[in-house]
Structures are given as C-alpha cells and as structure tokens.
Amino acid sequence: MKKLLAMMLMLLPMIAWGQEPDSIPNKDRLGALLLNMTDDNPLVQKYGDNYILVSPNNGKPEIMLLAKADDSNDGIGLLVVRNNQLDPFRTALNEIIEKSNEWILTAKENHINKLYRELPVKFPKLMFGWFYGKRLYGRKSVPIKFMFNLNGEMLKFDVHGTVVSAQNKYIQTDFSFSLNSLDEIKELIETISPTALDKIVEIYNNKVSQEDSLFH
C-alpha cells in the first residue's frame, strides 16, 4: 500500500494542474498532505477486492482506481477519475448494471452459458499512471473497455485498456482490474457517490486538524 500512496503523492499535482504524468512537478509543493498515510487512512477505500484512493483536491474530490499494469515495476498502476468526470463515470456504471441485467436475461432465455463481450457503454477517457524504471509514466486521456464475462453461474466484469506514454511512444502498458459481481459495481457506485466522497474528505480533514492541534 505504501507504493500506491507514493504514486498517489506524485499523481495528485498532475491532476490539479492538468499535466501528463511524464512531466513530474516537484512533489514538495504538496507539503505533507499524504506523507503519513497508512492503510487505515480514510482516503484509502476498499470495495469488494479492490481499492480506490481519494484525493481531497481542495473540496473537489478525485478518485484513483487500483489496476494491474503489465509493464510496471511492481505490476500496479492508477486509473484517475477527475472531479468533473465523476458524474459521467457513475452514470456509465449504472448503465453497465442495466445492460448486464438485460444480457443475463437474454442469455438465460437462449440457454447461453458462456459469453465474453464488451458492454456498449461509453465511459469518459481517464488518466492512467504507472512506474517504469525510475519514472512515472502515463497519459491523460485513455479509453477503457468494460467486458461482460459470463461463465455458467459466474459473472464478473473485466475492465482493461492500453496506454502509450505521452512522451515516449515506445513505453506502454496494458492495464486491467476485475469486478466480481453486479453487487461489487453497486458498492463502487456507493463508495464514490458525492455524499460518500464529501464524508471521506471531511473525516480526513478532521483527522489532519486534530493531529495539527497536538503539535503547534
């Protein structure tokens, strides 16, 4: 988890300033915002078997979804949903649920036990960042595919994409993560609802204020 937090520390200013992840600003400008983060920090949220990281971003929360990155140093990367993308992202997730229920019924009526197909739902293009060598690479606008994966009674969803570094076309990676049920998608939607995100940021800010009051 500490590696994830270090990555988050470097990605946060890029989100705020709209830069490509290849161009890393001085992370000292963030102060000590995340230097003492641990697994029990409110900015780290778990849904199903997955994690998201929440960035307070001056009252306009952003989220980062943990994903596998094939060509990363440690096999992980972060998919960033900016504040102005949260509404269309949540809308797309709800459309995934609606379309999946339709496909489940169609598969049952037609005795189809296996189906692997991209769901026809449009997601906003997201930023993805990953470590390769000693640098953080990525791109601001990356399309993702949301795959419907039915195998008998089991249904899961595979989310994946490919990103080419903004500064070096020879550096790229495939990334992916899975959601193991419709309930897990619903849990993600609840976790990133406006009310839930505001509460997470409030809890975090209160914690920081309490700690600051001890050392003044």
pLDDT of 108 > 80? The answer is yes
pLDDT of 204 > 70? The answer is yes
Residue that wins the pLDDT comparison between 34 and 163: 163
pLDDT of 68 > 60? The answer is yes
With pLDDT > 90 as the criterion, what percentage of the chain qualifies?
A: 44
Average pLDDT, the chain: 81
Average pLDDT of the segment spanning 192-204: 91
Residue that wins the pLDDT comparison between 168 and 5: 168
Q: pLDDT at position 186, please?
A: 96
pLDDT of 163 > 80? The answer is yes
HEC string of the chain equals CHHHHHHHHHHHHHHHHCCCCCCCCCHHHHCCCCCCCCCCCCCEEEECCEEEEEECHHHCCEEEEEEEECCCCCCEEEEEECHHHHHHHHHHHHHHHHHHHHHHHHHHHCCCCEEEEECCCCCCCEEEEEEECCEEEEEEEECCEEEEEEECCEEEEEEEEEEECCCCCCCEEEEEEEECCHHHHHHHHHHCCHHHHHHHHHHHHHHHHHHHHHCC
pLDDT of 31 > 60? The answer is no
Q: pLDDT at position 24, please?
A: 38
Which candidate, 178, 174, 211, places its Cα nearest to that of 75?
174
Instruction: Give residue-wise pLDDT tens across range 76-101.
Output: 888 989 999 999 999 999 999 999 99
Q: pLDDT at position 11, please?
A: 55
Q: pLDDT at position 73, please?
A: 65
Strand partners, 51: 46
**Any residues with CB less than 8 A from the CB of 53 and at least 6 apart, and which?**
4, 5, 8, 43, 44, 45, 63, 64, 66, 78
Q: Give the integer Cα–Cα distance in Å for 34 and 58.
A: 14
- Weakest-pLDDT range from 7-16, 120-129, 166-175, 194-203: 7-16
Strand partners, 129: 78, 138
pLDDT of 51 > 90? The answer is no
Q: pLDDT at position 25, please?
A: 36
Average pLDDT of the segment spanning 173-186: 94
pLDDT of 8 > 80? The answer is no
With pLDDT > 70 as the criterion, what percentage of the chain qualifies?
A: 79
139: tokens are 């791109």
Residue that wins the pLDDT comparison between 12 and 105: 105
Contact 158, 167 (CB under 8 A): no
pLDDT of 50 > 50? The answer is yes
Q: pLDDT at position 34, please?
A: 36
